[in-house]
Amino acid sequence: MVKLLRLCVDYGEEYILSIKNQIPGHIIPTVDMIRAHLNKPTETPIIYLKKEVPVESVDLSQYDKKYGMVVQQ
């Protein structure tokens, strides 16, 4: 109850009620649901990567000799 009152003081009663009215009627609204509507997601920058990542091949013959191969060729 105190959290809801604090939200009303911080954001205004009308704004909190408008968020409550946006929640579908069959769902019982909670303070956390209202807070989720208040916190807008921040835009994250898009990082473009090369289409192919170079991978160096590794010689595993020493490992195969010591431990044996799991898959027989």
pLDDT of residue 70: 66
50: left (phi over 0), alpha (psi -120 to 50) or beta: beta
Range of the domain at 45: 2-51
Domains contained in the chain, number: 1
Domain contains 72:
no
Which pLDDT belongs to residue 73?
A: 57
pLDDT at 44: 82
32 located within any domain: yes
Residues 6+ positions from 29 with CB-CB distance below 8 Å: 20, 23
pTM reported for the whole predicted model: 0.52
Q: Is residue 63 part of a domain?
A: no
pLDDT attached to residue 18: 92
Low-confidence stretches of the chain (pLDDT < 50) are: none
Residue 27 lies in a domain: yes
What angle separates helix 31-38 from helix 13-22, to the nearest 10 degrees?
Answer: 100
Whether 62 maps to a domain, the answer reads: no
Report the pLDDT value the prediction gives residue 67, as an integer from 0 to 100.
82
